Amino acid sequence: MAETITFQNVLDHLLDSKKDIPRSHLSHYSDLDPKSLRLFLDVWPSVKPARKLLLLNELAANLETDNIVSYEDIGRALLDDADGEVRARALLLLAESNDPKLASKLTDILLNDSELAPRMEAANLIGEFILLGELEELSEDIQRKAEDALIKVIKSEDNPTLRKNALEALGYSSRIEIIMLIESAFERTDPTWVASALRAMGRSHDERWLEDVVGKLLDDDPRIKFAAVEAAGELNIQDAGPILLKMLEDEEEDDDVIAAAIWSLSQIGGDDARVYLLHLIEQTDDEALTEYLEEALENLDFIEELNKFDLLLLDEDADLEDVETLDEDE
């Protein structure tokens, strides 16, 4: 009979830096009740720094693959940890949170934290809250404050990496002044700024950027090309499909660009994309690539079904308008 693992057992194991952290232990850190959270925080100061980061990295990675777990309790509790790297990784555990109360804490970290890593992660999460605002799932006041904090960083922060992160996060916003910020970054000679502008364009879902994105798909700089390929998928640029297919045929193409092209094709869709992705699956012996291609095909199926549903709704709306018109005529 297998021995039952208690949370105390898990914490005792955490304190032993000579042992790996078993994957089976990760679920025990999920959805902690107040008593368990207190136990965790009581032992936390005794955990060695490298061990802390290892655990938080493992929890963040598990959060990406397991839809059931939630480490939000731990994430919130560690936002004021003395170690900046711990604070940054704690923010990763809040990636799935849509609690409006968290937005003000994130803006405070973005503007006032003493270290760069937490500020970078805060900028990323603030972007997700702006997206919630655009979907009308967050108050306009909270969204506006989040946007203002990111704009302040872009205009006054010295660190260029943080400024680029802020620009990318602002890509979700429909505020008119964001367009000028994206345009300004896109016109720079620094390829990293151009890449950030392209990421913001993709997140905007604004058709005004279609020509700019397509124009960078064959750029010589792999950073710009990679960002343009991702943006082409996010913006569902049909004209990009043939270009992306040619990329997949180029044996000298950058691996990251190839991966981005595969996923973007799954978002753009079309018979040619499906046929070629199936062809790649038949040709490869790489298990990881096969799994990625299969996920891309599943995404393609999902997008196509979603498009069919949208068309059905449009047809129903059109029929309803016809009926209303007939009623008015009568």
Confidence of residue 100 (pLDDT cuts 50, 70, 90): very high
Mean pLDDT, rounded, for 305-310: 74
> Topology of domain 72-173, per CATH?
Leucine-rich Repeat Variant (1.25.10)
Mean pLDDT, rounded, for 259-271: 93
User: Each residue of 21-32: pLDDT tens digit?
Assistant: 999 999 999 999
Retrieve residue 83's tokens: 């170690």
Look at residue 1 in the predicted model and tell me its pLDDT.
43
Beta strands in 163-314 (DSSP E): none
Report the amino acid identity of residue 201: M
The CATH superfamily label for domain 214-330 reads Leucine-rich Repeat Variant (1.25.10.10)
Range among 191-200, 273-282, 316-325 rated most confident: 191-200
Q: Are 203 and 127 in contact (CB under 8 A)?
A: yes
- For the chain, which residues make up each domain, given as ranges? 72-173, 214-330
Q: Do domains 72-173 and 214-330 have the same CATH topology?
A: yes
| 198, pLDDT greater than 80 | yes
DSSP string, 78-127: TTT-S-HHHHHHHHHTTTT---HHHHHHHHHHHHH-SSHHHHHHHHHHHH
| 310, pLDDT greater than 60 | no
Confidence of residue 271 (pLDDT cuts 50, 70, 90): confident
Mean pLDDT, rounded, for 269-284: 90
User: Each residue of 160-184: pLDDT tens digit?
Assistant: 999 999 999 999 999 999 999 999 9
